[in-house]
Structure 1
Amino acid sequence: MKNQNSLAFPVSKDTRDAAENQIREQQKETRYDIRDFTIEYIIQKFQDGLFFVPKYQREFIWPQNHKERFIESIILGLPVPMMFLADLDDGRLEIVDGAQRIQTLEEFRNSDLKLKDLKILDSLKGFTYEDLPESQQRKFDTKALRIVVLEDATSANRRKEIFNRINTGSVKAKPSEVRRGDFESPFMQFVIRCASDAMFRKTCPVSKSLVSRREPEELVLRFFAYSDRYKVFKHDVYKFLDKYTEDLRDNFDKDKMESEFNQTMHFVNRHFPNGFAKTKNSSSTPRVRFEAIAVGTNLALRQNPNLTPGSLSWLDSEEFQFHTTTHASNSAPKLKKRVEFVRDMLLGK
């Protein structure tokens, strides 16, 4: 019996033909074969540069327990997820998915990774690769891992899409990490450069682990996006930031945006005793606090570029604390209130 919806809304032959053509065209984008490489070979080719990590990938951020779990799986002979490489025109193989695992293999093989808390092989506590019996070292080196190798006809965009969809690592990619690959463009390069600015890093402390997860880039992007469009923001912050990034992909006022960014960073460094952080010795900066101060300051400077603020005692007020709590941080009304509160306080309204 046919579905009632299909009877009420029949798909025309032309629509089906168009769908068939699109599917066939997109299927041409992905061609691959499956190979088995030994761990020793994988590590050697990674060190030689034959296998390499592309720009859109994450930095090496697996925590100790994830590394140990992976190595334990290898030693036990348990199945591990396949890795994905892409065969490039120059003969090198781009690591589309598996950078975390390959770097962990290298770290362990070099005896730079000491096993501490294995779930099953607790007798290996304190072991490095060199401490393994020679027979187990040989088994480790010669163990073959299954690799999906994409043919060189696979486009760069398709490789990035595979990375974003598979993301088989145990540590899920953050939106800022995925966005770095999805929207590699002049605008994203500009954001990355701003996120490396010395004054920004000084006034906006970010922990080492979050730096590796692209948190500075996330904060800079929020600064620009909310400064320009906070009034039209609804509720889904990641879709909002994705659209903003796509809209400005190749067409943005670099000089104006860079000027506003620099003015805001210097203003905060000059007048705010703790910069964007809560305390002088903070090692991290809450996003909602950064948004409130950074965007609010920028809005105030747009109205008065020669602004000299009065008392900043409001930073310790209950009202400011209320506006910069994490509760409902993605709420449009709350975003509006916190940035406009800082703007108005700086302007003396």
Structure 2
Amino acid sequence: MLKEQLEAIQQKAKERTVKTQTVEYDLETLVKKIKRDVIKLNPDYQRNHRWPDSFSSRLIESLILNIPIPIVYISMDVDVDDETEDELARYSVIDGQQRLTAIYNFFTGSYALQSLEVLSELNGSYYKDLPPFLIRRLEERTIRCLRIDSTVDTQVKFDIFERLNSGSVKLEAQELRNATCRGPFKDLIKLLAKNPVFAEIANLDPESTRIKKMEDEELVLRFFAISHNDGYLEYKGQFKKFLTRKMEEFNKLDALVLKEMNENFITTMGLVKHHFGSKPFAKYKKAEGAGFTLMSSFNAAVFDAIACAFSKPNIKKIPSYEDFINLFADPVFFESVEGSVNDVSKLNNRINKAREIIK
């Protein structure tokens, strides 16, 4: 059996082989490249940097003491010989974002060292407070980077990022996409994630961990992936890869289409709030007697059903929210928002059921 598949295995291995090169940068050079946006950590990396200052301080202590730290993986997104009209970063960080952000923030005076055990005398010191010999030691300390060739496609980079992502604070799927899927659609979902109507009805507290994990941006991507041109009909399984593929696809759309998508999202969220109130994506269960029991104030699968139904143009029939809640008494609909909700049939069922009564 394996012999019969040999050709396919050889072809796949050839296509998926990653070309890499090992380079070393001193910290002074790295900080300069980040500051000039040659190496891109993340457009919103300060918001998404999830190490506390005590973690960051221990890294700085390790660097001063010349303790080995893990290799950093960077992606070459623009070849060094290519000229670009806009100021695109040439490299993005695939693994090591937290470490590089901690270094950059310390060098630029964003925090003082704390909780150091070996060099406890430095607790409370900012970069500018360090004695000259320690500043020189830090600036000249090198970090080894594994650079991934610019020809590697986005999905492969995502897979690499996911496999390498084993740090103390595990990154979520949207954080991985944020580092590997670059383009105008990425900018659009960042903008729409901050829309106040969307934030209210999706139950997104600005200080919540959902925001820090970029769940807000993933919900915007999720909306477009399933609703734009009825994209849910293309879904055949593996939801994370489906979203990544859609994000890459949308990044290639022209400005006019993205403008229409932007308007559709804002209109849809406005309609949902107007007709279904401020908690439209709640999940209910049919009570044993009369009525329904609230299970959660927000459910992503319910979001799929309602948002996709409201996104259709020329809606003529919209039930009251109370009438919509009756859908949870339908065993097919309830099962579609329960358990493994990214099953292909469940995604189709919940969207079709919602569209039957919102049309």
1:270 aligns with one of 253, 267, 274:
274
Task: Tell me the residue number matched to 1:88.
Answer: 80
Provide closer, same or farther for how the CA distance between residues 143 and 165 of structure 1 changes in structure 2, counting only shifts above 3 A: same
Letter in 2 for 1:52: I
From 169, 173, 176, the equivalent of 2:174 is 176
Local SS of the residue matching 2:24: strand
1:335 alignment partner AA? L
Q: CA deviation at 1:305?
A: 1.6
Q: State the partner residue of 1:221.
A: 221
Q: Distance in 1 between matches of 2:320 and 2:6?
A: 66
Once residues 57 and 295 of structure 1 are traced to their aligned partners in structure 2, the CA distance between those partners, rounded to angstroms, is 28
- Corresponding residue number in structure 2 for 1:293: 306
Match of residue 24 from structure 2: 35
**Residues 54/66 of structure 1: CA separation in 2 closer, same or farther (3 Å cut):** closer
1:1-349 equivalent positions in 2, closer than 5 A: 5-6=2-3, 9=4, 30=19, 32=21, 34-37=23-26, 39-47=27-35, 49=36, 51-53=38-40, 60-64=48-52, 66-84=55-73, 88-89=80-81, 94-97=91-94, 98-114=96-112, 121=118, 123=120, 127-129=124-126, 134=131, 137-138=134-135, 141-142=138-139, 144-148=141-145, 150=147, 154-155=149-150, 157=152, 165-166=160-161, 167=164, 170=167, 171-180=169-178, 182-184=180-182, 191=189, 194-208=192-206, 209-211=209-211, 213-227=213-227, 228-230=230-232, 233-245=235-247, 250=252, 254=257, 257=261, 260-276=264-280, 278=282, 285-298=298-311, 301=312, 305-312=315-322, 315=325, 319=329, 327-344=339-356, 346=358
Which sections of structure 2, spanning at least 5 residues, go unmatched?
84-88, 284-296
Give, in angstroms, the shift of residue 11 of structure 1: 6.1
The structure number with the bigger radius of gyration is 1
Does structure 2 retain, via aligned residues, the 8 Å contact 1:233–1:240?
Answer: yes
Unaligned runs of 5+ in 1: none
Aligned-residue identity in percent: 22
Partners in 2 of 1:261 and 1:131 — Cα distance?
47
Please give the TM-score of this superposition, normalised by the length of structure 2.
0.64
- Residue deviations 1:141-199 (CA, integer Å, cap 9, x gap): 24512333759xx5365699557625567244433333345554566565555445454
Deviation at 1:123, TM superposition (A): 4.8
Compared CA separation, residues 159 and 328, structure 1 to 2 (3 A) = closer
**Which residue identity is paired with 1:223?**
F
CA contact (8 A) 2:318 2:357 kept: no
Q: Distance in 2 between matches of 1:61 and 1:55?
A: 9
**TM-score with structure 1 setting the length:** 0.65
CA RMSD of aligned residues (A): 5.0
Check whether the contact 2:199–2:205 (CA below 8 A) recurs between aligned residues: no
Distance, in Å, in 2 between the alignment partners of 1:309 and 1:211 is 31
Q: In the alignment, what sits opposite 2:287?
A: none
Distance 1:34 1:214, change over 3 A: same
Q: How many residues align?
A: 324
Q: Secondary structure at the match of 2:315?
A: coil
